[in-house]
Amino acid sequence: MSPVRVLLVDDQALFREALATLLATHDAIEVVGEAGDGGEALRLVAELGPDVVLMDLRMPVLDGVAATRRLRVEHPHVQVIALTTFDDDEDVFSALRAGALGYLLKDVSSARLVEAVHAAARGESVLQPSVAAKVVARFAQLPDAETPRPQPLVVPLSERELEVLRLLADGHSNREIATALYLAEGTVKNHVTNVLAKLGARDRTQAALRARALGLL
């Protein structure tokens, strides 16, 4: 299997260097380039064809949100993960509306970051827990319609995550889900983590209840 091709976009050269060094220790990830601003990122995406872009948000010339919005139009096959220091509401929702598939803070663990890169390459999103909480809070603020009906999640579940959710809601363990879907148990664990984050649930039971309330089951 070919490694996931990653482009690093951040205006801090030292951070890019450290991040490239970290990711280089993983054979399944290849850092194909680095950019110091959104404008340079657009040029390098066209030139290098990465699978995933790790995008800082606050940069000179062209910020990460504007760059993400253009990338999703010009290179829709390229997935963007916002990787930033800030998790205020404006940054979070601007990045997600622009088309970022994930949103992580720079204090994320290396293991979680690597998982996120692979998830993004599969078309699955990963949210920092604090960001997932904001998404759920924003959803809760939506006005109720006269006839209650399920509302879509701000960041939808992938088809695979929906499959995991259905089995999870039926009370199956990670091992049983792995067997049913022909997946590794570790992969199922990652899917369950993503499902809980997107639903803003603290455990499997709460996830099942919220999924039923949203009409996902």
pLDDT higher than threshold 60 for residue 146: no
Mean pLDDT of the chain: 88
Q: Are residues 97 and 120 located together in one domain of the fold?
A: yes
Q: What is the pLDDT of residue 167?
A: 92
For residue 79 the two structure tokens come to 């997935």
Top-confidence residue, 152 or 201: 201
Give the domain extent around 31.
Answer: 4-132
Last residue of a domain, one of 100, 132, 164: 132
Beta carbons of 39 and 61 less than 8 angstroms apart: yes
CATH code at position 74: 3.40.50.2300
Joined tokens for residue 103: 């949103």
> If you average pLDDT over residues 56-78, what whole number do you get?
92
Residue 139: pLDDT band by 50, 70, 90 thresholds?
Answer: low
What's the mean pLDDT in 106-118? 93
pLDDT at 125: 79
156 DSSP 8-state letter: P
Taking only the tens place, the pLDDT of each residue in 10-62 is 999 999 999 999 999 999 999 999 999 999 999 999 999 999 999 999 999 89
Per-residue model confidence (pLDDT) at position 149: 47
Mean per-residue pLDDT, 136-151: 57
CA 108 to chain centre: 13
Helix, strand, coil percentages (3-state) for the chain, rounded to 5, are 50, 15, 35
Q: Number of structural domains, the chain?
A: 2
CATH number at residue 199: 1.10.10.10
Q: Could you tell me if residue 56 is inside a domain?
A: yes
Q: Summarize pLDDT for 115-135 with one digit per residue, the tens.
A: 999 989 988 878 888 777 777
Looking at the DSSP bridge assignments, the partners of residue 7 are 33, 53
The reply to whether 138 falls in a domain is: no
Sign of the torsion angle spanned by Cα atoms 12, 17, 18, 22: positive
98-106 mean pLDDT: 91
Separation CA 83–CA 52 (nearest Å): 12
- Asked if residue 9 and residue 30 are part of one domain, the reply reads yes
Q: Quick one: 38 and 112 in the same domain? A: yes
The share of the chain scoring above pLDDT 90, in percent, equals: 58
What is the rounded average pLDDT of the residues 159-165? 92
Euclidean distance between CA atoms 15 and 203, whole angstroms: 34
CA angle 73, 76, 79 (to 5 degrees): 120
Is 139 within the bounds of a domain?
Answer: no
DSSP 95-116: HHHHT-SEEEETT--HHHHHHH
185 and 117, same structural domain? no
Is 179 a domain residue?
A: yes
* Same-domain check for residues 92 and 41: yes
Residue type, 42: L
Check: CB of residue 124 under 8 Å from CB of residue 194: yes
